[in-house]
């Protein structure tokens, strides 16, 4: 008979059994108290080992990333609605509007975005790839329209929006998704042709295309979105396997371009200087937002002052409904609340990177990596600016900050990730074993063949 090596769980169970045996005397009566304590400790170790194994088995299931992405999106959207209601109501009242005006606008974005995310989650990668060039064209045309006087809308010195009837839309958000899909499709086609062995094929036409979108965004004075586009471009290069020297060269070049763009604007120079000096004792117009954002964070303590009870949102923290909504989360929900939000983005990073790692085709791997980097790093940049470890760039907190365009596009991007997760090895079998979903039951109930 062949002997099998003992595994970690077997050793733990054996230790528990041995401790229990030692705890009993030859007559079967309980032994010394120390022996009983040893048996209890061994049993606790064994139980902890089983819990760890159960957790690992749960994470290893094929549909775990899909449900993680779905749950994270739902929680962040719910948090965003609550915080927009809390912060936006003050601004609405100051402008003579209904206190629920911003909340209903955000709710409209969520309601409109849910079916689009659902459709994206059930679409195939071929459909996404077919939309690559149309999306780039829509993004470029939309960005160009923002530069036309009378069409583009300017807020806080930046021209980022165009009016579409009663809705104000931000084409730069579409540019993020367009660059992800177009760049992933382009590099996947080149890999299929065996062209990526030459690093020049990685950069042309990807780099000029990304540069065009970035220049159009920057023409509207939106450095934050330009930075996100650069992150997407670098992620695509990295995952595609760009040589180390080429990637480092691109990293340095993109960094120099961003610094050059920052120092060519007087108010950005003042913000950058204020960040480097880190002078929080003297409040100036340049560091006013940063200082009061940190005051709001510190005022929340461990558990916060309670939802709706923030004092900083009464005009002390500029853009508290958008770029600095994380400061109000810290004040109203405390350190525990901010750590929970951070953990949600961390779990999103895990799910997205697992989908990318297990992808069976190049397009899925590239697109999943770029979407994950875009959403997670944008959240890191936003939270880092609020807590004072990064300069303020004006990017929203994904799915939480107020912004119809940002919410819609981010939901579609997460729907794409869920679509990729449903195609992970073993996921199709798990979905088939689960049986028909709610939508199928509703269709069968409403079907013409139903007999009453």
Residue 390 has pLDDT above 80, yes or no: yes
User: What backbone phi and psi angles, to 5 degrees, belong to 327?
Assistant: -65, -40
Name the pLDDT band for 157 (thresholds 50, 70, 90). Answer: low
Q: How far apart are CA 426 and CA 372, in angstroms?
A: 22
What is the pLDDT at residue 437? 58
- Nearest 5°: the CA angle 116, 187, 138 is 40
- For the chain, the domain total comes to 1
Residue 10 has pLDDT above 60, yes or no: no
Query: End-to-end alpha-carbon separation of the chain, Å?
Result: 64
216, 140 Cβ separation under 8 angstroms: yes
Element (H, E) at 168: strand 167-169
Q: How far apart are CA 205 and CA 304, in angstroms?
A: 50
Q: How far apart are CA 282 and CA 352, in angstroms?
A: 42
What is the pLDDT at residue 51? 75
| Residue percentage of the chain with pLDDT more than 70 | 84
- Nearest 5°: the CA angle 413, 417, 418 is 115
> DSSP letters along 183-209, please?
HHHHHHHHHHTT-TTSHHHHHTTHHHH
314, 295 Cβ separation under 8 angstroms: no
**407, part of any domain:** no
Q: pTM here? A: 0.85
**301, part of any domain:** yes
Name the pLDDT band for 2 (thresholds 50, 70, 90). Answer: very low
DSSP 169: E
162, 152 Cβ separation under 8 angstroms: yes
**437, part of any domain:** no
**28, part of any domain:** no
Domain region containing 174: 131-401
Cα atoms in the 13 Å half-sphere on the side-chain side of 194? 0
What is the pLDDT at residue 58? 72
**308, part of any domain:** yes
**397, part of any domain:** yes
Alpha-carbon Rg for the chain in angstroms: 26
Residue 449 has pLDDT above 70, yes or no: no
* Residues 6 or more apart whose Cβ sits within 8 Å of residue 273: 286
**337, part of any domain:** yes
What is the pLDDT at residue 102? 93
177, 407 Cβ separation under 8 angstroms: no
Task: Give the residue from 229, 11, 39 showing the smallest Cα distance to 136.
Answer: 229
pLDDT per residue as tens digits for the range 36-83: 676 666 676 677 777 777 777 777 788 899 999 999 999 999 999 999
353 vs 30: which has the higher pLDDT: 353
Mean pLDDT of 134-142: 95
What is the pLDDT at residue 1? 42
E-state strands within 108-157: 152-155
Q: How far apart are CA 250 and CA 248, in angstroms?
A: 5
**383, part of any domain:** yes
* Lowest model confidence (mean pLDDT) among 72-76, 129-133, 219-223: 219-223
> C-alpha 12: how far from its chain's center?
39
169 vs 295: which has the higher pLDDT: 295
What is the pLDDT at residue 429? 76
Residue 23 has pLDDT above 50, yes or no: no
pLDDT per residue as tens digits for the range 241-288: 999 999 999 999 999 988 888 888 787 887 788 787 766 667 777 788
Q: How far apart are CA 319 and CA 385, in angstroms?
A: 13
* Lowest model confidence (mean pLDDT) among 37-41, 108-112, 213-217, 431-435: 37-41
What is the pLDDT at residue 286? 76
> C-alpha 3: how far from its chain's center?
49
Residue 178 has pLDDT above 50, yes or no: yes
60 vs 235: which has the higher pLDDT: 235
The whole-chain average pLDDT of the chain stands at 85
Mean pLDDT of 220-234: 93
Greatest mean pLDDT among 58-72, 113-127, 138-152: 113-127
Q: How far apart are CA 379 and CA 234, in angstroms?
A: 17
Mean pLDDT of 99-124: 95
| Residue percentage of the chain with pLDDT more than 90 | 60
């Amino acid at each position: 008979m062949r002997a099998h090596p003992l595994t970690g769980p077997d050793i733990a169970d054996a230790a528990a059994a041995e401790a229990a045996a030692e705890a009993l005397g030859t007559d079967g009566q309980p032994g010394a108290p120390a022996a009983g304590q040893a048996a209890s400790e061994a049993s606790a170790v064994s139980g902890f080992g089983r819990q760890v194994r159960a957790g690992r088995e749960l994470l290893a299931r094929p549909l775990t990333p899909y449900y993680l992405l779905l749950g994270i999106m739902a929680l962040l959207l719910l948090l965003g609605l609550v915080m927009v209601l809390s912060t936006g109501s003050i601004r609405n009242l100051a402008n003579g509007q209904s206190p629920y005006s911003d909340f209903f606008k955000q709710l409209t974005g969520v309601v409109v975005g849910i079916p689009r995310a659902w459709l994206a989650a059930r679409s195939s990668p071929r459909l996404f790839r077919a939309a690559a060039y149309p999306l780039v064209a829509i993004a470029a045309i939309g960005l160009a329209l923002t530069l036309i006087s009378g069409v583009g809308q300017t807020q806080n010195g930046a021209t980022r929006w165009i009016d579409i009837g009663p809705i104000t839309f931000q084409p730069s958000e579409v540019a993020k998704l367009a660059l992800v899909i177009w760049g992933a499709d382009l590099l996947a086609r080149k890999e299929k042709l065996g062209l990526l062995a030459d690093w020049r094929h990685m950069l042309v036409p990807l780099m000029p295309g990304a540069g065009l979108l970035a220049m159009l965004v920057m023409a509207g004075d939106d450095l934050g979105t330009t930075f996100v586009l650069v992150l997407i471009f670098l992620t695509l290069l990295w995952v595609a396997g760009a040589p180390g020297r080429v990637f480092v060269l691109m990293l340095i070049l993109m960094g120099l371009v961003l610094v050059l763009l920052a120092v060519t604007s007087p108010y950005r120079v003042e913000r950058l200087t204020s960040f480097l000096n880190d002078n929080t004792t003297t409040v100036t117009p340049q560091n006013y937002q940063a200082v009061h954002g940190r005051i709001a964070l510190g005022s929340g303590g461990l558990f916060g002052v309670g939802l709706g009870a923030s004092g900083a949102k009464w005009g002390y923290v500029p853009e508290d409904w958008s770029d600095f909504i994380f400061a109000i989360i810290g004040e109203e929900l405390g350190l525990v609340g901010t750590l929970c939000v951070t953990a949600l983005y961390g779990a999103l990073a895990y799910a997205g990177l697992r989908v990318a790692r297990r992808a069976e085709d190049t397009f899925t791997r590239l697109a999943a990596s770029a979407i994950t980097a875009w959403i997670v790093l944008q959240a890191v940049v936003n939270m880092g600016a609020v807590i004072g470890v990064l300069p303020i760039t004006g990017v929203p907190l994904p799915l939480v900050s107020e912004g119809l365009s940002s919410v819609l596009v981010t939901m579609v991007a997460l729907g794409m990730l869920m679509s990729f997760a449903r195609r992970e090895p073993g996921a199709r079998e798990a979905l088939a074993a689960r049986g028909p979903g709610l939508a199928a039951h509703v269709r069968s109930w409403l079907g013409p063949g139903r007999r009453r």
